[in-house]
Structures are given as C-alpha cells and as structure tokens.
Structure 1
Amino acid sequence: MSEEPDVFRCHVVAENAEALKEFLHETQADVGCRAIARGTRAGVGLDLYFRQDQLDQARAARSAPLVNITEVENVTENWRNRKEEVGGGDRFADRDVVPHGLGRKE
C-alpha cells in the first residue's frame, strides 16, 4: 500500500476578497470545515489545506502572484506524531484497568 502525500495547512493572504476568490476558484483548494476569511493588515486571509503536489501547483497558478502563501503546519506529520502517543491493545479488555489504546470493536 502506497503512502498518501502529506497535507499542509497554509495561511493564504490576498490584497482583497476578489483576489482570494480567484485563487480559490483556480486552485480548488480545500478550505476545511470552517472556512472563515479574516481581514488582516495585508488584506484578507484564509487557512487552506493542500497536498504537497497541490501546494506546488498552487504556487505556480496564474493567480498565485495575487496571494501570499505561508505554510503553517504539516497536518499529516502532526497526525503521525499524535498517533504514536496512543497505546496499543484493547483499552476495554479489563474493567479494573484504566483504558488506554484505541480499543477493539466486538
């Protein structure tokens, strides 16, 4: 099974809402579940999610000069690190033990 490419959360700022809309339309970026554009000193900002290949394409897009793209975090890497914190085994196997791990549906 091949590993999926990493997903990055990026903060994208455009001078105005129209420029941001044009960038979003061209790149078809994932806005996540709470797409809230916020005014900043530099313009209008929004968090977007891109796979690495999509991020490269977005930076090369025709509308890319209209926006400033800043990588905020590697969401996939953070998920991998958090997953390592979870214990193994059946967390509900023994009623007298504090649960740990993901559990097993029976």
Structure 2
Amino acid sequence: MTPDEPVFRVRVEAATLDDLRSAVDDLEPDLGCRAVARAEGDGFAIDVYLPGSRLATTRSATVTVLADETENGLARQAEVGRDNRFAARGEVPRGLGLKE
C-alpha cells in the first residue's frame, strides 16, 4: 500500500464462517479492532478496511464498498481550523469540539 492510496470501508460476506475466514486471510484487511463476524441473511459478514489495490472480490466471498474512508478523513480535516481557538480571552471557542 502506498501512502496516497485510498482506503475503503468494505463489507465482506460469505456463506459460511470458514469461507469468510478464508476470504479475510486472502485479503489481509485492517480489521479495525473489531474482528466480529455476524450472521446476515443466509451467511456471515464482517466490516473491514482495505486499500484500493485489494478491492478484488475473492472466490469465497463478496466484497461491497461501504465508504471511502480516505475521502471522509480529508473532509473531517477540512473542518479543523489552524488557529488557536483559545487565543482570544473572554471569547467562547467555536467549532465541532465539546464545549465544557
């Protein structure tokens, strides 16, 4: 994976847990600290993170793109200002952060 390669959140679905394990082993995804397979429909699914170069569908599972997390991250970064929110005395900070 290159540093500028987009990362996607995807759902990997398979008919059996063994097929799902095999697909996850093939794809080598980032499981995001929540490697929990769940029953969905007639099979099993897990949400993982994959770089764009590994979006190929495996033989034993279906891969569905849920979100472009690189694009989402860049959009969140655009919401963050570069100024010191606490520089002006007596003024309440503004923005997305928690106001206490």
TM-score normalised by structure 1 residue count: 0.78
Letter in 1 for 2:70: T
Counterpart position of 2:92 = 98
Counterpart position of 1:29 = 29
For 2:90 and 2:34, how far apart are their aligned partners in 1?
Answer: 40
Query: By how many angstroms is 1:6 displaced?
Result: 0.9
CA contact under 8 A between 2:7 and 2:49: conserved in structure 1? yes
Counterpart position of 1:83 = 77
Letter in 2 for 1:24: V
SS of the equivalent of 2:55 reads: helix
Give CA-to-partner distance per residue, 1:73-102, whole Å, 9 cap, x none: 00110111111122230112123122247x
Pair 1:40 & 2:57 matched: no
Report the aligned-residue RMSD.
1.8
The runs of 5 or more residues in structure 2 that have no matched partner are 96-100
Query: By how many angstroms is 1:54 displaced?
Result: 2.0
TM-score normalised by structure 2 residue count: 0.82
Paired positions, count: 94
Pair 1:70 & 2:89 matched: no
Structure in which a larger fraction of residues adopt helix = 1
The percent identity for this pair of structures is 34
CA contact under 8 A between 1:6 and 1:51: conserved in structure 2? yes
For 2:89 and 2:42, how far apart are their aligned partners in 1?
Answer: 56
